[in-house]
Structure 1
């Protein structure tokens, strides 16, 4: 069954799909080598971005929740971070994430820096 909604997303259009499948295969291979799922590898990567970054994955299934929690035990070396970023960076993926090229993201937000937060 083909999801026709995906055909409108530039990343899934024919001119980008083959390249992006290769990116996924490399992420999948790295995850297999590390003994985790690609999703766990992605969450682990986010965890390694700094103490002021925390992924908030959504799920409705306990098995997915358990996999998400499992990402906390994945420790990436600086070399593994560099390897992953070399083929899975935003610049490496072809095609916009959303149809029309824009969507509201963290880049357009006014979140104050962590250093300005208080615990009153």
Structure 2
């Protein structure tokens, strides 16, 4: 991320609430309809969910100390990364939008940031965010840069 900042490249934080996981934790699975695609996500499978639930509980404890929700804490962490980071939480409910806006009022200290970064350190979360068949840059048909023509 430091390289991107040095080059002036903005970062769009996709799915910053973990497909709803930061809203409900492991309870999310119980509340999903039987055909909700999130039931197929690797991070929410039983072999990964128990581990990830422990990480969520640590975030939830910190959110309680900060007098906010885990979702607000997640978004606040992103906002504290700098003006070149833009989270795009998806929501279909106005009350969730209003709650997300509340993240702008959450103040994090350098110690808070370090604790959150430790919780979410590389390899801490088990399971991929998306299924293997999900279309991402990894399996796109983008032509090589060398073939691009300028206008």
TM range (shorter): 0.7 to 0.9
For the pair 1:88 / 2:88, whether they are aligned, the reply is no
Structure 1 residues not aligned, in runs of 5+: 109-120
**Which structure's residues are more often strand, by fraction?**
2
RMSD: 2.3
Retained in 2: the 8 A contact 1:27–1:88? no
Structure 2 Cα separation of the partners of residues 57 and 6 of structure 1: 15
Runs of 4+ in 1 over 3 A off after TM superposition: 1-7
Higher relative contact order (CA 8 A, sep 6+): 1
- Number of paired residues? 106
Per-residue deviation, 1:91: 2.3
Which deviates further from its counterpart, 29-38 or 51-60?
51-60
How do 1:15-54 and structure 2 match up within 5 A?
15-54=47-86
Retained in 2: the 8 A contact 1:11–1:17? yes
Q: TM-score, normalising length from structure 2?
A: 0.61
How do 1:1-120 and structure 2 match up within 5 A?
3=34, 5-100=37-132, 103-104=135-136
Q: TM-score, normalising length from structure 1?
A: 0.75
Retained in 2: the 8 A contact 1:10–1:98? yes
